[in-house]
Amino acid sequence: MSAYILLASNDSEFNDELMLHANQYEPDFEWVLPDDDRASCATVAACWFPDKDLLTRFPNIQCLHSLAAGVEHLGETLLHSSLPICRIVDEEQKVGMLEYVLWGVLYFQRDFDRAVENQKRNHWQRYPQKKAEEITIGIMGLGEIGGYVANGLANQGYKVSGWSRTAKSFDNIQCFSGNSGLDRFLENTQIVVNLLPLNDSTYRLINESFLDKLPDDAMLINCGRGGHICYQDLCNALSRGTLRGAILDVFDDEPLQESNALWHTPNVLITPHMASASSSQVLVKQVIDNTQRFVEGRDLINTVGYAD
């Protein structure tokens, strides 16, 4: 046996599915769960919302591999552990994100949010149909996934703008960057789609000041991270009616607690972190490929620092 891979995840159903594929894939790398006696021998941890004391419990871990495109779910302790961190990069994930965002855009564009509320009141009301070219969508975060989503929406006929921390350039997309470009990006955006990574500069970026710069009746789709949003400010904007609605797929703590007020906040649609996901086969393959590289002393692929 060359190496053990520790599966450190807070989702038991996800663990069962992943383990089913993992130990059928490559006999030289055996996946183990934290309660397995062999877990203490693992040098690589495949992570999805792992316990913050992971490295205390398993001091032999020398490499952390996120089981997602993002790494923020690792938590501050692991992110700042100085260990190499890898993430998943997958074409399938980009396609899934575009599908989810397009669905979210259509949810607002075709007034499905209003139809759902009207049904609760047995109220029949039709709304004028809006064309894609009449909708301005702003994509926050123009990395691998964000750029793909922005291009996909532009190809569907939407007016698309994008904002990123550093300057980017895409055909058919009006790009803004940095603090100086954020206000101009927001002032004409009808539907904001957040796909930013979470770091010190983007934490609670979506706050009262941010929301007040949007035009009245704007909408928000958050597929970035829960830490991007100041939830009290979001609820206030929804209550005042300055923000029409929000689709939220990610949260500070997951699963979202049953007692969380967001479940019952008007004009909020909650989805359980389902915007996009790689297949178990893709996750297993990429983790094993990097583990092979780690064992052999070769350069890891898809590495990322917290600031990224």
Kindly report, residue by residue over 165-177, the tens digit of the pLDDT: 999 999 999 999 9
The catalytic position among 65, 225, 228, 244 is 225
Residues of the chain with pLDDT under 50: 307-308
CATH number at residue 231: 3.40.50.720
Claim to verify: residue 65 and residue 124 sit in the same structural domain: no
Cα–Cα distance measured from residue 9 to residue 209, given in angstroms and rounded to the nearest whole number: 35
Do 78 and 218 have their domain in common? Answer: no
Asked whether residue 253 falls in the same domain as residue 114, the answer is yes
Q: Does one domain contain both 133 and 49?
A: no
Give φ, ψ of 270 to 5 degrees: -105, 130
Tokens representing residue 265 in the block: 């906040």
Instruction: Report pLDDT for 2.
Output: 65
Residue 186 in domain? yes
* Claim to verify: residue 123 and residue 15 sit in the same structural domain: no
Residue 83, domain member (yes or no): yes
pLDDT of residue 307: 46
Its domain, for residue 235, covers 91-270
CB atoms within 10 A of CB 186: 22
- Residue 307, in any domain of the structure: no
Q: What pLDDT was estimated at residue 308?
A: 41
* Residue 111 counted as domain residue: yes
Domain match, 107 and 79 both: no
Q: What is the pLDDT of residue 3?
A: 85
| Active-site residue, 264 included | no
Of the candidates 65, 73, 87, 273, the residue annotated as catalytic is: 273
- Do 102 and 85 belong to one domain? no
Is 87 marked active-site? no
Total domains present in the chain: 2
Q: What is this structure's pTM?
A: 0.84
Give the pairing type, strands 243-248 and 218-222. parallel
* Residue 302 covered by a domain: no
Instruction: State how beta strands 29-32 and 173-177 pair.
Output: unpaired
pLDDT of residue 277: 87
Whether 241 and 172 map to the same domain: the answer is yes
